[in-house]
Amino acid sequence: MSDVSGDVRLRTDDLEPSYDIDVDMTTTLGKLEIPDPVFTASGCAAAGRELAPFNDLRALGGVVTKSILLGPRAGRATPRMAETPSGMLNSIGLQGPGIDAFLDRDLRWLEDNGVRAVVSIAGTSVDDYSKLASKLRGQPVTMVEVNISCPNVEDRGQVFACERNAAAAVVQAVRRNAPSQVPVFVKLSPDVTDIVDIARACVDNGADGLSLVNTTLGIVIDPDTMRPVLAGVTGGLSGPAIRPLALRCVWQVHQALPEVPLMGIGGIRTGLDALEFILAGASAVQVGTVIFNDPSAPARISRELRAALAQRRIARLRDVVGLAHRPPELSIPEEPDPPGDEELVAEVAPHRSAVSFEEDV
Ligand code: FUM
C-alpha cells in the first residue's frame, strides 16, 4: 500500500536538530501532563501489541485502542478495505472482542507493559455508552475516547456526532459513569455542517477534550466489476487525502474554544505534519493510517517533531499550540538565525512568542 502514506517521507536524518536545544515535549490534556504528544490512533493497531517491536510504546503519549463495544462483534463483510489516492477507505464495522475480553487481555497487556492506555468506546445507544463507561471504573485507563463518529454503522442515525443533542446525551452518560479522575475525550466526525456546534455541545455536557477527526464517508467503485469495491458499499476515508480537512476542523474548534484540549488526527505521516496540527491548536496528535505502511511511524514522527521544534528554536512544545492563530503581522522569521545569545521563543508566553521573537531579533 505504497500510496497510503504518501511517497515523500521526511527522513529523520533530514531533521536532526542543528541547534542545541533540549525540547520539552510535555503536553497537557485536561488534568493530565503527558511527556510526549504523539499517540497511536484508534483502529490502526488493535491494542498496540503489534507495534511494540517497532516503537517504544511507553515513550509515546499513549495507545488509543480500537473502539470497543459491549459485546463481541464480527464487523462488516469483506472486502472492507480499499486503497485510494493518498489514503484508504475502511469499513471494518467495529469488529472486536467485547469489553470484558478487552479488559482481561488487551488492557492488562498495556498495563503490564507500562503503556498509557486511551480506551476508545463505541455503542449503538446511550445506554451502551453508560455501561461501557462504568466498566472502566477501577481499570488502568489513562483517558477515555468516546467514539461517536464511526461512519461504518448500519444506520446513519447512530452517528451521534452528526447531531448536537445526540452527541450531548452520550457525553453526559459517559461523564456520569466513567471514573471521575479520567479525562473524557470525544471523537468527532468531519461530516457535519458546523463542527464547532457539535464540539460545543460535547464540552458543555462534560467532555474534557476532543479528538479531531474521525474518517470521512467515502466510496470507491471498481470500473471492471462496475460495483462498489467495499462489501459495505461506503467506508471511512483516512490518510493524507484528508489532512487539510482534519486540520481545518482543529483550526475552527481551537478558534472557537481555545481552552479546550484537542487531539489532532488525519493523515499525519511526518513530524512536520504533526507540527501543522499543533500550530492549528492541537495539544497532541494521533497517528493512524501511516502505520499500515510504516509501523515505526509513531516513534519516528515524535522524533521528527522534536527535531523540527529544535530547528525552530522552540524549547517547549506547549508554547506553539495554536500559534498559527496569531495575527499575520506577528510572523516569526522564515529562516531563524543560527544559535546565539538570543532568547528562545519558548521563554515567553504562548501566543506572545512571536511578538517577543520579533522584538528580540
Ligand atoms: O468500521 C470501523 O470499525 C471504524 C471505526 C471508526 O472509524 O470509528
Q: How many CB atoms lie within 10 A of CB 313?
A: 23
Q: How many CB atoms lie within 10 A of CB 33?
A: 9
Q: Which pLDDT tens digit goes with each residue over 258-308?
A: 999 999 999 999 999 999 999 999 999 999 999 999 999 999 999 999 999
Q: Is the pLDDT of residue 4 over 80?
A: no
318 against 352, higher pLDDT: 318
Which residues are 87's β-sheet partners? Answer: 84
For 103, which DSSP code?
A: I
DSSP secondary structure string for all residues of 188-203: EPS-SS-HHHHHHHHH
Q: How far is the CA of 6 from the centre of ligand 1 (A)?
A: 22
The mean pLDDT of the chain is: 89
Read off the pLDDT of each residue in 175-200 and give the average, rounded to a whole number: 98
Residues 290-312 as b/e (b if ≥16 CB within 10 A, e otherwise) read: bbbbbbebbbbbbbbbbbbbbbb
Three-class DSSP category at 112 = helix
In a domain, 210, yes or no: yes
Q: Is the pLDDT of residue 348 over 90?
A: no
Which residues are 137's β-sheet partners? Answer: none
Q: Which pLDDT tens digit goes with each residue over 222-250?
A: 999 999 999 999 999 999 999 999 999 99
pLDDT for residue 355: 32
Q: How many CB atoms lie within 10 A of CB 163?
A: 16
Nearest to 120 by CA among 190, 40, 192, 176: 40
Q: Which pLDDT tens digit goes with each residue over 56-81?
A: 999 999 999 999 999 999 999 999 99
pLDDT for residue 8: 39
Residues lining ligand 1, Cβ inside 6 A: 43, 67, 90-94, 147, 150, 152, 214-215, 236
Kindly report the protein residue whose alpha carbon is nearest to atom 6 of ligand 1: 150
Q: Is the pLDDT of residue 182 over 70?
A: yes
pLDDT for residue 309: 97
Q: Which residue type is seen at 202?
A: C
Structure confidence at residue 5 as a pLDDT band (50, 70, 90):
very low
| Substitution candidate for ligand 1 out of 145, 150, 242 with most atoms within 8 A of CB | 150
Q: Which pLDDT tens digit goes with each residue over 336-345?
A: 555 444 444 4
Q: How many domains does the chain have?
A: 1
In a domain, 305, yes or no: yes
pLDDT for residue 354: 34
Range(s) of the domain holding residue 252: 27-74+94-217+238-328
**Which CATH number goes with the domain that contains 56?**
3.20.20.70
In a domain, 226, yes or no: no
319 against 358, higher pLDDT: 319
Q: Which helix (H) or strand (E) holds 164?
A: helix 164-177
Q: Is the pLDDT of residue 361 over 90?
A: no
Share of the chain above pLDDT 90, in %: 82
Q: How far is the CA of 74 from the centre of ligand 1 (A)?
A: 13
In a domain, 89, yes or no: no
Using DSSP bridges, classify how beta strands 209-212 and 184-188 pair: parallel, antiparallel or unpaired. Answer: parallel
In a domain, 83, yes or no: no
Say how far apart CA 4 and CA 83 lie, in whole Å: 7
Q: Which pLDDT tens digit goes with each residue over 118-158?
A: 999 999 999 999 999 999 999 999 999 999 999 988 777 77
Say how far apart CA 175 and CA 30 lie, in whole Å: 14
In a domain, 22, yes or no: no
Q: Is the pLDDT of residue 192 over 80?
A: yes
Read off the pLDDT of each residue in 157-166 and give the average, rounded to a whole number: 90
> Which three cell numbers, joined as nine digits, stand for 97?
472482542
* Residues in contact with 270: Cβ distance below 8 Å, sequence separation at least 6, in sequence order: 9, 10, 301, 304
Q: Which helix (H) or strand (E) holds 29?
A: strand 27-29
58: burial class by Cβ within 10 Å (0-12, 13-18, 19+)?
middle
pLDDT for residue 328: 83
Phi, psi (deg, nearest 5) at residue 27: -130, 160
Q: How far is the CA of 308 from the centre of ligand 1 (A)?
A: 32
Query: Which positions are catalytic?
Result: 150
For 104, which DSSP code?
A: I
Helix and strand numbers (H, E) in the chain are 10, 16
In a domain, 145, yes or no: yes
In a domain, 4, yes or no: no
**Which atom, in ligand 1's list, is nearest to the CA of 91?**
1
83: burial class by Cβ within 10 Å (0-12, 13-18, 19+)?
middle
